[in-house]
């Protein structure tokens, strides 16, 4: 089954404790993105990647890092999480102009 998977689905952590949210797709897509979704603000792009080793900032990149060492994986790294990064995070991969979203990761930073 074609899909985008994210782990973990839920995470509660404390300020400053580094964390990684994994994202994997099995559709051989080159373009992948990370979004955060906040009430009233919609979906805002954090980072995107056009292919292996090619990444760039989206609209809200501050406080986040990404890497793309393999085509299928695109992890999101929060090296020193802060409470304002409490949000719902989505990974997406793209075929043409259609984006396929993962199930989301709900992150709470205390």
Partner 1 sequence: QQQVKQSPQSLIVQKGGISIINCAYENTAFDYFPWYQQFPGKGPALLIAIRPDVSEKKEGRFTISFNKSAKQFSLHIMDSQPGDSATYFCAASKRGSTLGRLYFGRGTQLTVWP
Could you tell me the two tokens for 21?
Answer: 């949210």
67 binds partner 1 (CB under 8 A): no
* CA-to-CA separations, 35 to 58, 73, 90, 94, 99, in angstroms, rounded: 9, 15, 5, 13, 12
Asked if 100 and 93 touch (Cβ cutoff 8 Å), the reply is yes
Report the residue from 20, 67, 71, 101 that binds partner 1 according to the rule CB under 8 A: 101
Q: How far is the CB of 56 from partner 1 (least distance, A)?
A: 8
Taking CB under 8 A as the criterion, the residue among 2, 14, 50, 110 binding partner 1 is: 50
Pattern 2-41, partner 1, x by CB under 8 A: --x-------------------------xx-x------xx
Category of 104 on φ-ψ map: left (φ > 0), alpha (ψ -120 to 50) or beta:
left
Contact positions vs partner 1 (CB under 8 A): 4, 30-31, 33, 40-45, 48, 50, 56, 90, 92, 94, 96-104
């Amino acid at each position: 089954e074609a899909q985008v998977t994210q782990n973990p689905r839920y995470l509660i952590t404390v300020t400053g404790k580094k964390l990684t949210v994994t994202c994997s797709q099995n559709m051989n897509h080159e373009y992948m993105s990370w979004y955060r979704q906040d009430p009233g603000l919609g979906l805002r792009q954090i980072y995107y990647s056009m292919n292996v080793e090619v990444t760039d900032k989206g609209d809200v990149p501050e406080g986040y890092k990404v890497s793309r060492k393999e085509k299928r994986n695109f992890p999101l790294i929060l090296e020193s999480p802060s409470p304002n990064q409490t949000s719902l995070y989505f990974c997406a991969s793209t075929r043409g102009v259609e984006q396929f979203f993962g199930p989301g990761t709900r992150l709470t930073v205390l």
